[in-house]
Amino acid sequence: MKLSRLALAVALLPGAQALAETPSRDAALKLDDTVISANREVQQRSQTSAATTVFTRADIERLQVRSVSELLERVPGLSVTRTGGAGSQTGLFLRGTSTAQTLVLVDGQRIAAASSGTSSLEFLSPEQIERVEVVRGARSAIYGSDAIGGVIQIFTRQGDGQGLKPYARLAAGSDSTFERSVGLSGGDGRTRFNLGAALNETDGIDATRDGFGSNGDDDAYRNRSLSLNLAHRITDDLQVGFSVLDQRGQVEYDDTFTGSLPTTDFLLSSVSGFVDARFNSVWSSRLEIGHSEDKRDSGNDQPGGSISQFNTYRDSANWLNTLALTDSQQLLLGLDWYEDRLQGTTDFVEDSRWNRAAFIQHRYSGDAFSTELGLRHDDNQQFGNENTWNAALTLPLDTANDLVLSYSEGFRAPTFNDLYFPDFCFGGLCFPNANPNLDPEKSKSYELQWRSRYSDSGSLEVSLYRTDIDDAIVLDGNFIPQNVQTVRINGFEAALKQELFGWQGNLALGLIDPRDRDTGHTLQRRAKRTLSLDLDRAFGDFAVGASWRAVSGRYDDADNNVELGGYGLLGLRGSWQATPELALDLKLENLFDKDYAETTYSTPNGRFGYNTEGRTALFAVTWTPQF
């Protein structure tokens, strides 16, 4: 622990530069130069040691995104896989880590299924989202389990507290796609609110290529969503509020073995409340309580069919305290608790467990350098205790350039499927499917960042990192999970923003080398190279934009025998503010109708790549009447 003692000593040195003034949490949710998720408090992005990406409501509307995954593909070092069209199962690989190794939050609440550990981002409607923040790199010292690759936090749509503002949107496009949404936001100096509802439907595409059984049909998707966000400032130093997000519907999928016509009925919901208090000039506190659910009924309900049900119920409470020790030093203290419960058609050996934790983090900001040092202790009902810590040193090279050196640890608790899935029994013989003796996966990450604000119209952020993961959980030859894999991930990221001749450009580049150190194989489903480029320009009431996304090839199996080719996709968009109350949008995706696959499936006829959407168009009308 010599390094931690040194970092602590450095952090406690007196400094001349005060911690930067930050806006309120309400205001920060509307800004692109602030971040909340890095340290669970409002910070200027330039003041946090973590590599971050932020998408505001303005970005969502400008880019005309139809899904959260479409937005996240613009994050450096993040690749996505889908098993078909809209609503199909989606995998996220942030900095080369697996889907379950990235923590996903909605308004501070975990939404991952306790059974699989994955989050159903495919069911989240962009119409209900105010902001998406991505913290790239391990953050378990702040959040605990699952934050090995990073943290993705989604904030539900907010009111701006400036009178009543109704809105309505209608859209129609390819594959019999129809999107409808309505909402009302507003408030005053003390109260703000937003209430929104949406219905999205599409006939979809045929996800499979082989035509086995009934797999030749299109896979429809229907999503009904509702969100409510309300906050009231009782006094200048006391605010209370709550948020609700409810997504439910049905998605069809192909049965690649029997040829039936199965569906998944889903519900993804999150309810949370908070009390924000400032007791004095030194101490501010925030108490959050929440409940989230992930429910899925999958299968064929026709005669002779069967339904599998996996429902996760999660309760949580978090208490955060910020102490301004001096003008240049700040201390964050927190307590976390959550409990997972699992219900369904599978009788797990154990169906609930709790986790409680305490953490502390010190920040120092000075003229010559800034530091950050954090430590967290988790106590889990199943695997016992886990300690994680992080440290960072920021060195200003000049007024426009900073270097950030950081070390961070992460861990991921085994899922209920890993630990408690019941044995398979047949003919009096039983075979295990789970391993109750699993340990958490553990990671160590080292990172060097360079941040440059080289002009008034341009900025560049570059990251070079290495992540080592021990005790990674994989299935052995008998399909029993074991802590046997050792992973090494080397990566490079760059994010460039530049305005030139009236065009605003945003470039994101990711280069990774994710390896199983025991076999030397590349980790499956990780694209080694990703590139995203957005160009936008406004011409008075008109605006145009283009997006280019390039993804390298990837292996779809652990032995690197099944290789999928890379691809590049071009999209165009345009908008017209016809009147102050009426806007028209048009978006074209996959303009050259590229045929590509992001993952594969097996059937009795062989192995095939899942279909993805070809050329699509979507036309939308948005009405925002003025009162």
Determine the pLDDT at residue 213: 62
pLDDT tens across 35-84, in order?
999 999 999 999 999 999 999 999 999 999 999 999 999 999 999 999 99
Residue 205, class by beta-carbon neighbours within 10 Å (0-12 exposed, 13-18 middle, 19+ buried)? Answer: buried
Determine the pLDDT at residue 560: 96
Question: For residue 282, which phi and psi values (nearest 5 degrees)?
Answer: -105, -40
Structural domain of 579: 2-623
Split into its structural domains, the chain has a count of: 1
Determine the pLDDT at residue 384: 87
Contact 421, 475 (CB under 8 A): no
Those residues of the chain that have pLDDT short of 50 are 1-18
Determine the pLDDT at residue 116: 93
For the record, the structure tokens of 383 come out as 């695997």
Give residue for tokens 């009111």. 159
Determine the pLDDT at residue 305: 66
Q: How far apart are CA 265 and CA 253, in angstroms?
A: 11
For the record, the structure tokens of 541 come out as 């009431």
Determine the pLDDT at residue 603: 79
Among the listed residues 351, 285, 288, 292, the one whose alpha carbon sits nearest the alpha carbon of residue 105: 292
- Cα-to-chain-centroid distance, residue 12: 34
Q: How far apart are CA 405 and CA 50, in angstroms?
A: 10
The helix/strand count (H/E) of the chain reads as 6, 37
Concatenating the DSSP letter of every residue in 118-182 gives ---GGG--GGGEEEEEEEES--HHHH-TT-SSEEEEEEE----SSS-EEEEEEEEETTTEEEEEE
For the record, the structure tokens of 14 come out as 């007196």
- Cα-to-chain-centroid distance, residue 597: 22
Determine the pLDDT at residue 26: 87
DSSP conformational letter for 360: E
Contact 135, 129 (CB under 8 A): no
The one-letter code for the residue type at 436 is: P
pTM: 0.94
Q: How far apart are CA 206 and CA 209, in angstroms?
A: 8
pLDDT tens across 87-146, in order?
999 999 999 999 999 999 999 999 999 999 999 999 999 999 999 999 999 999 999 999
Contact 364, 394 (CB under 8 A): no
Determine the pLDDT at residue 443: 97
Question: For residue 71, which phi and psi values (nearest 5 degrees)?
Answer: -70, -45
CATH code of the domain containing 95: 2.40.170.20
pLDDT tens across 464-521, in order?
999 999 999 999 888 899 999 999 999 999 999 999 999 999 999 999 999 999 999 9
